[in-house]
Structure 1
């Protein structure tokens, strides 16, 4: 991989600068609007990435003054546009998932049933809050065109995915709470609730069997 190749956060930053020039604060603010839910590391590296892009020649800077205050404004260079366009032509990597609540579910046999219920309840609350946030974005874009009206058709695609994503988490949390409602603890159902476990696994098993039959 070339040393100067940007990270995904770098490409996100170049994509923002492809639309208009921004200050570091404005770029960080834009990267925090829904992007952190899609690409968590963007939130952690949104300031440091500008220095790397500048050293690589993908962005340039200028100073703007408001009274006695100066601020640095970043703009994309032709080389930065070329790098972004080249990246968009490369094969996309598979999606990944960072989901602490699910990790806790997987390890719930080391804790109590009440703790597992609390994890599911908190997971639902978080998903409801995020779904509401993306619903507000949808209303804002519909009413005003959004911050990037020239990209609103693309934001509509992403917004629909994110709302569906949180719909799925909410539905799963509700379903999981129903499944564990009669469990005595987080350990014994592995042996005492075999029929229930097989029923939970049935949709995946049946899909696999159907795919195998379709491939013949």
Structure 2
């Protein structure tokens, strides 16, 4: 747990800019990790490409260093293209409900975590719940779970998650569901510790199939 006092309170309109920036920053971290993982996972492809370059260099008059530079440039373009695509196409869709105005009316509950003195407090985390699906049963979806990078691994995420689960139990929700990228393994591990079970794993493909990432859907039954 943290060595400082963390206050969990409900979201207020004046929190909007700070919360939006914090959530966006966290998602961009995940995007960078997804693209980096793609590059690593395709190591075999890059090895074949570099091997081909080496063979071409040996049997031709083309300078080997020039060919290697072209291969590296290909890898670099792939990485940068993935980052740009994910940041400017996928993220805006994910953040539509938080970038288009104050999100307080789009969720059943929205909380923030704060630290600091009564005179000057800083928002370091957030979590929200909203109605899930069109089921006749009362289910909630966990959204906007985010903690500032400087304050991670100090128990703040656990406090936020416990707040959301306690609320769902108090209101009689049958289930709390969520979806997370497999790149966010610390978050998935935390959800598992709180009793969330994996119910579905599937792959999303973007950038015409050049980038794919795994989505983990989890649920918590009250």
TM-score range, shorter chain: under 0.3
Which protein, 1 or 2, shows the higher relative CO under an 8 Å CA cutoff with sep ≥ 6?
2
The TM-score normalised by the length of structure 2 is 0.25
The TM-score normalised by the length of structure 1 is 0.25
Q: Greater Rg, structure 1 or structure 2?
A: 1
Greater share of helix: 1
Greater share of strand: 2
